[in-house]
Structures are given as C-alpha cells and as structure tokens.
Structure 1
C-alpha cells in the first residue's frame, strides 16, 4: 500500500461492531478488515469437526486491523504477513473501495471470493502474494480472502459409524461457511451478495469446481474463475477414504481398540480418541507431502458431494446459467518434480542433464506411473482394457525434438506431460462439461505463457519455463508492489489480467483485449466444442493473441479418456 494507515473505519454486522483501517493504493482509498472470524475456533470439542458459525455477540468493537494466524500446515517458505500458525485460524479478510453511507446512495460492488491453493497441504490467505488491495483498487471490486483448515485438520475421515469422529471434507465445509458469511454480511462492507465471483488456483481451483457441483454451495455465487486445476474422477468414496485414513492412523501409532486381530480398515472409538488427542505436529505427520490416490483427499460424503462429482457434472447436476473463466499456464507440472516426484533428476537449482533418449525413456516410465495411479484408485469404475500408451505419450510430448535439443526443454516437456494430466486437462474438461451441459452458461478461457525477467519464483526455477503459480503474482498485482523486481512489461500484463478478472466479476465477460471482444466457447456440427482462448504473452503475437483449442492434442486425443 502507499503508506502507513492513519485512521480506522467501523462496520456493524449482526454480531457487533468491526473496526478496520483505511489505506490507499495508487491514490485509491480502501477500507481494509483483517482477521474477521467466520466460524468458532475449531479447537477442543470442535476439533476435526465441521465448522460452527459464530453465534455470539461482542460488546466491544472487534479489532480487524491485524493479519490473522495461518492454519496449521507444512510450511515450505516464510513469506507470510503473519508467520504464526494456530488451529484457531478460521478468519477472513476484506478490501473494499467504498462502504455504504446512510446519507448517500452508494452502489454495491461485485465481490471476488478467493480460495488459495497449496494442495490442501500448505498455503494460507496470509501469504504475502494474496493481499487483495491491488485487485480491489484497480478493479473497483470488493475482495475477500480467508483461511480454511488443511491436511489432517481439514480432511480426516473416520467413518460413518461414530458420531464422535471426523466427518471428512472439513476444508470444503470451512469454505462453504466462509462463503455463507459473505452472502449474509458483505453488503455492510459495500459488496453485492448477488454478484459473487468465486476464484481459486490449483487446490483452490479444484475446490471452486466442487462448489459448482455441490448442492450446499452452488446457489451462493454467480460466477467462477478456475485457474490451473479442476476435479477429476479420482474423488474418494467413503470406504476408500476411511481405509486411507485408517492406514495413516496406524502409521502414526493410533492402532488401538481392535481386539479381533483382523484388519477391517474401520476406525474404532479408541482410534478416534487417539487421533483427537494428538498434538498438531503429530496430526500433520498423518498426511505426508505426497499425492493421495484420491483427489486431494476430498471424498464423496453424501452431503457436500452426494455423488461422484464427475458423474454429477456429466449428468447436468451442477450450477446452471453461470459465467465461467478458466485458465492454465504452459507448464503446470514442473514445479512438482523437485518437491515430490524426482528431486534428483529435477533438482530446482541443479537438475541433471537429460538427453533425447533419456527423455523418451523417462516419458514412458512416467506414463507407467500414471497408469499405476489409475489402477490403485480403488473406488474408480473399471476402465476395461484402456491403458496409457507410453509410446504415444512420448511421441506427443517429444514431437519436434531431437538430440540437438537442450536438456531443459526435455525436462519442461516432462513437466508439461504430468501437469496436463493432473491440472491442465482436468481444467479444460470441466469447462467443456459446463458449456455442453448448459447452453445459457458462458465459458471463457485464457492461456498464460509470459516468462519474465524477475528470476526464480517460489515454486518455479528458470529451467522450468512458464510454470504453475506464475500467473498468481501477476493477478494479485505484485509488479505494482515490487517495482525494484518487476518492470514495465510485467506491469502491463498484470494490469491486463486484473482488468480481465475484475471486468468478468462486473459483467460476466472478460475485458476486451487486442481491440476485440473475448469469444466464448461454442459448438458446431452438433457436438464439437470450439474453445477460443486469449494468450497472455510477453510479446504480442504477429496476428492476434486469440486462438482456438489450445492443447487439443494433449487433452482431447490423449488424457480425456482417463479423466472421464
């Protein structure tokens, strides 16, 4: 922001008075409220339970001028506005350009409700790139960010037999309660509860896509922006989820209460008591930094997700008449390799050299590992004789390369292959179902290919190319906050993306770019979906930055058959 806040501002909600602060950005006044509780602290008897609304009133003004603590998670950096973590963490933050005034007619502004990513293992609304002030000021919208529980705290499922246990999907229920709080209260902060855009990236995008199908939340918002991810057919059913968490509970020493000597993979009351009594650090150990065979450990619980979400999507059981903007980056997968796939070959700082022959062999092995992933999702319907053809995968992703190609290009292609399967193609498949299943829904797409001179970012090394999370810095306006790190091209792209997102929140259509309206998805010849997109690139294209059907070969002809 431009400087130190010099005055406070107060808003009254049902529970009482909330005191925030007034800041400015580029001369625009903003009313900022940090750390507003949207649920009771999930501790004590409420630990590992669904969130409970705040039903008490406070007699003194609630101080909302300081960043809240993050939810407990596996930290992989220290870039936080508040470095402390706590299980008492269910708070939200609001940036509003204008508050309602009893003496003036102030039009309510669209609301942008941000769900952060992090694989449900790390991340927080208090990470330094998630301040909403630039978007709010430049786009004239109300921005809301919030914490939700992660890892074991937000995902543990101990079966349906025991009411004292953990119900699963607590992270999604947290998100739902935060969204309900916004619907009920945001008008007091100048936001329009009938014009809410939910937007999220990575795990936040997968969450957003689930809110589109969930009967609990689909009516609470009007538009969605889904960045780099969407759910697939790998969401757990209850039995698979309980077995997965049972095995984790046993691994951390909570194998108690079963006197039969047989493994039923069902929690006992003693096991639940053991889990509830573990320290925060020990609970974190129950879920390590590897991908679950189930989609982020979300589960079909019969309530938030009554059925397999991909089947709900295909059958038309989802939000209707919605505006949707999706987006992907060139390389969605490279950032994962140093963290959890192959930290030696793909070391972030010093990757091993890779030849064409090695790349081809690696692509085939990677395809085999994805086949193993498909096979071991025990709840997945049988896929018959369909198997991932490693040779075909290698042909597609190494097309045009040779022994003369640089090593880093081969490694980028491996990342693109994995990222397309896990994040990029699910994102595009979700959009196609929304378009095909509801003619009144408008679907738009962007493709992000801008590599900047700012150097290594948190997740992305230079050799990875344009990778997962690179667009987050741009969307949240970091080039306007860190002038010593970013230059004019970065600020230009950032202004474009902020205008695109906020104009979408205002009208349901992205902003005009390159002198042209942004075309939406359409269908020809009965069932052929045409997917126009706009490419955010460092340099303008010779003809236009608009294109059609990006990554159609990779997604339509390869991965969709395994993601359906």
Structure 2
C-alpha cells in the first residue's frame, strides 16, 4: 500500500513538472528573426509588414576628439546584441527657421508631416491622429550610422541594393531623418541603405595643418570618405541582410547627386558599386550660380581664414580647434538667410585634392575618367525656382554679378537673360540656374558617359505637385520616390517614379513598366524621358 502511495506521489510530481515544462515551452518567446550578424557584432531590428528595418547601425567610429577631421576609423566590435530600432542623431548642422533653406525652399511647411526634406514648399494634408510624430532634430558629432530596409526573408536571396546620399548643400539634412524612409522602395524588392555623412566644417574643412597629418598631404573631403566607408560596410555586410554586394546602385539628390558624381570619378570608390543614379547634381567647377567643387588651394585658404575667425592661427590651430564644441564650429560658418546666396556661396564642399577627387568633375567627364557603369541621370524642370529664391538683386547689381561670373561674355549673357526689374532679375537667375547649372551639365555628363557606356539614360522630371507655385522644384521627386505621406500627388506618377528607379537598380535598364520605351542617351540622338503624368520621349 505504501509503495502504491509512493508511486502515485511520484507520478503526481512528474505530471506537475511536465506541466511546468509544457507551459514554459508555450510561453517562451519566439526567436527574434531580425537578429543579424555584422562584422562588428549582432544587431536586432524591427519587423514591419514583411520588411525588416534597422536604424542606427554604426559603420565607423564616432569622429570625435582626436578623430575629428580624420578619415573615418573602424567601428569597435560589441558583445551583446545591439538594438538597431531608433534613428541615430544627425550630424551637426545649422538649424534655421526653414529646415530646408539650404535647398532653397522660400516658403516651407515645417509641420510633422513634411520635416527636413530638401525642399517642401507646399501645404500637406493633415495627418491622421494615429500618424507617428517625427522627433525633434537631434544632433551629435557621433553620427556615422546608417539605416537598412530589407524585404529579404533570408540571407540567400541576393537582392539588389540601393544606397542613398542625401542633399542639403553639404551643410544640412541627414540619412537619419525619417522622411527618407526606404519602405516604398523596399516593397519593390530592393534593399535600401541610407547612411549619414559629415557635413559643413566638420565634413569638409581643409587646412595646411591637416594636410601635414595626412600621408597623402590632403584634407577636407571627410564627408566623401564617410560615404566610401558606408559603401565598404555594404560590401562587407549586406549579404547578411539578403543583399548582393555585386549589385549595388548608388543614388543621390543635389549634394548627394554631386557626391555620386564624385564616386563615379574617384579611384577610391571603384569596386564599391555597380551603377549609379544622379538626381539634379551640381557639376561645373565654375557654374553660373553654383560652383560644385573648390581647388585644393582655395579650400585650404578659406580653411585658414575660417580658423583665424575662431582665433586660431598658430602652429597648434587644429589641435585647439579639436577642443571646440561642434556648435561653435557651425555658428562660425558663414551663412545667409537667402536661398540664392546660400546656394551661390557654399564654402565647405568637396575639393580637388588629387586623392579622393583627382580633378574637377567637368574635367573628369571631359576626359572620360568616369567609371563606365550603367547610369540614370537627370534634373527637375524647375530646379532653379527654389535654389535661386530670394536673391533680392536689383538690375544695377545684376550686371556686375554677370560680369563676375562671365567676364567678357557678360553682355552676351545679358542679351540671353535680360531683365529690367528686381522681379525680372529673380526670374532670370532661376532660369539660369535651371538651364546652365543643371540641364546643360546633365547633357554634358550623360553625353560623356554615353560615349563609354551604352546603358546611359537621361531624364527630365517635370511633374508638378499640386498646391505649390514653384513648379517641378529641386528635390520634388523625392516626395514620390520615398512615399512621403500626406502629400497630394498623382498615384500613377508616384508608382512610375518608384518603378523606374527600382527597375534600373535590378537590371541596369529602367524599361519594362511603361507604355513608352526609354532609349539610351547618346550625344547624337539626344533623347531623354520626360517624367510627368504621361511619360514621353523627347530630344534634348
């Protein structure tokens, strides 16, 4: 009897233990399918309706202290799983009344629905109460992070990759701004990567004392080196996200498009991408309104003057300036409330150092020094309307300005762009910016690439977003490309823009989704695609 009782007691204990184990198994958390191993450690992200999203992945060491004004250093590995679920800080920049003033938006809606994009001169629809709010701009010198959107279910899918470089005149904006949401593109079967890069004085200061620290006797261009470090990160890690490192498309708008030009001619960028998309990028070393690059001598001369303005001119100037706060450096940077003068007087931008950038962009394309890869390139029909806004230039001031830009050809230019009032001058400056700095440079670059690469496609974006008076303004295609919410756009145009960009990314050819065939561009045929409600092929 006692044996039976003992056996029954043991049986009850076993059942209780088994029950605990069963319920423990039922309540155990499912494995996190977002966990991925990078070359610096494991990260976890967010599952978002079939897309895995990762925010704030470090691709370089924080460029602070002694690492300020140096090429990006490697990331220090970490032990535990790092959560990559929140955007990193943006790189330090001037915060103006208009967050996109460097991109020339004279009347900017700064609501939560339309924050920080290159240009946003329209009224947006009221966002639903449930719409997540964009956090206030958070800045830190510790900003070298990137974001990834991947639709891949596993690492074996080998999807094409799009790496986006933002605009902002090398003085503002960041890839960590939520407006550059890669979801719309990722839903088309591509992986999207948006890195930050240093801007302003922190990204492009050139100075003789910095030259002496470099084995190549160069300085400045740190923002471009950051972009190259991000591209190297993609080469080393994107396979773990289901991407194919041999199918990387770099693309950018405005300063990001100029950066893409730089990568097309920089020996340091070779092998880090397969093809490129250029959207309204400054190009000419001596443009009508915009100078895309500075000479090494000019950049160092300005850097020396800038250091003196902060009170440092001795042999330890850079050592002392590394101790200054980012805010002090930014506030000492010359700036203007006028979009025109901000665009016309960018001081911190790429310089021709002979290492990162061997020659000016126009000389490089003139001599076919660019990497002969598939290229999609174009500009917006109204690029100049926002970039050249608020010039406030009178007719007596207009003529000397033309003389300063065109010297002995100033009278000829005035005959082409005559004006007899301040408003007339404003119109002419906008026209010159669009035609000379963008349309003509796009034709020049596309013609050069078409000589050496048959997969060259030129476009002009002329679709006008309703509710604003600036036409197809600089950066307006980004609202469609990134699916910015609460903007009243034609859904068929938006779908076509996304389709063209992603088809090109997948195959090197944007055709297949339209009724019209987009021909490749050559100097002889001059044919390009006009992107509007009804796409059409035209001659340049």
Give the structure 1 partner of residue 151 of structure 2. Answer: 97
- The structure-2 alpha-carbon separation of the partners of 1:291 and 1:413, relative to structure 1 and needing over 3 Å to count, comes to closer
Q: Does 1:86 align with 2:140?
A: yes
Q: Does 1:472 align with 2:486?
A: no
1:367 touches 1:389 (CA, 8 Å); kept in 2? no
User: How far off its partner does 1:34 sit?
Assistant: 0.5
Task: Give runs of aligned pairs for residues 42-53 of structure 1, distance below 5 A.
Answer: 42-53=63-74
Q: 1:277 aligns with which of 314, 317, 323?
A: 323
Task: Give runs of aligned pairs for residues 522-541 of structure 1, distance below 5 A.
Answer: 522-523=522-523, 529-538=524-533, 540=534
Q: Deviations over 1:286-340 (max 9, x none)?
A: 33233466785311112111233332222222212x111112111111213346x
Q: Does 1:140 align with 2:135?
A: no
Give the structure 1 partner of residue 499 of structure 2. Answer: 499
Q: Deviations over 1:497-527 (max 9, x none)?
A: 000000000111113355132101135xxxx
What TM-score does the superposition give when structure 1 sets the normalisation length? 0.76
Q: Deviations over 1:183-224 (max 9, x none)?
A: 111011011111111000000000100100000003211111
User: What secondary structure does 1:167 align onto?
Assistant: coil
Give the structure 2 partner of residue 418 of structure 1. Answer: 433
What TM-score does the superposition give when structure 2 sets the normalisation length? 0.79
Q: Deviations over 1:224-274 (max 9, x none)?
A: 1100114223432221111111122222333x32xxxxxxxxxxx232233
User: How far off its partner does 1:65 sit?
Assistant: 0.7
- The structure-2 alpha-carbon separation of the partners of 1:323 and 1:94, relative to structure 1 and needing over 3 Å to count, comes to same
2:465 touches 2:471 (CA, 8 Å); kept in 1? no
Q: 2:205 aligns with which of 149, 156, 160?
A: 156
1:50 touches 1:167 (CA, 8 Å); kept in 2? no
**Which of the two has higher C-alpha Rg?**
2
Q: Deviations over 1:124-168 (max 9, x none)?
A: 11233211011111x210000011001000000112653289821
Could you tell me how far apart the structure 2 residues matched to 1:228 and 1:367 are? 27
1:229 touches 1:424 (CA, 8 Å); kept in 2? no
Give the structure 2 partner of residue 452 of structure 1. Answer: 465
2:54 touches 2:149 (CA, 8 Å); kept in 1? yes
Could you tell me how far apart the structure 1 residues matched to 2:267 and 2:273 are? 12
- The structure-2 alpha-carbon separation of the partners of 1:530 and 1:272, relative to structure 1 and needing over 3 Å to count, comes to same
Give the structure 2 partner of residue 173 of structure 1. Answer: 225
- The structure-2 alpha-carbon separation of the partners of 1:446 and 1:107, relative to structure 1 and needing over 3 Å to count, comes to same
Give the structure 1 partner of residue 401 of structure 2. Answer: 369
Q: Does 1:315 align with 2:367?
A: yes
User: How far off its partner does 1:100 sit?
Assistant: 2.4
Could you tell me how far apart the structure 2 residues matched to 1:534 and 1:517 are? 9
Structure 1 unpaired stretches of 5+? 1-5, 258-268, 346-357, 376-384, 457-461, 524-528, 550-564
Q: Does 1:515 align with 2:535?
A: no
User: What secondary structure does 1:473 align onto?
Assistant: helix
- The structure-2 alpha-carbon separation of the partners of 1:370 and 1:512, relative to structure 1 and needing over 3 Å to count, comes to farther
- The structure-2 alpha-carbon separation of the partners of 1:87 and 1:370, relative to structure 1 and needing over 3 Å to count, comes to farther
User: How far off its partner does 1:94 sit?
Assistant: 0.3
Q: Does 1:391 align with 2:400?
A: no
Could you tell me how far apart the structure 2 residues matched to 1:307 and 1:140 are? 37
User: What secondary structure does 1:303 align onto?
Assistant: coil
Q: Does 1:22 align with 2:47?
A: yes
2:94 touches 2:331 (CA, 8 Å); kept in 1? no
Q: Does 1:443 align with 2:449?
A: no
User: How far off its partner does 1:388 sit?
Assistant: 6.3
Q: 1:242 aligns with which of 279, 288, 300?
A: 300
Deviates more, 1:209-218 or 1:330-339: 330-339
Give the structure 2 partner of residue 65 of structure 1. Answer: 85
Give the structure 2 partner of residue 261 of structure 1. Answer: none
- The structure-2 alpha-carbon separation of the partners of 1:388 and 1:86, relative to structure 1 and needing over 3 Å to count, comes to farther
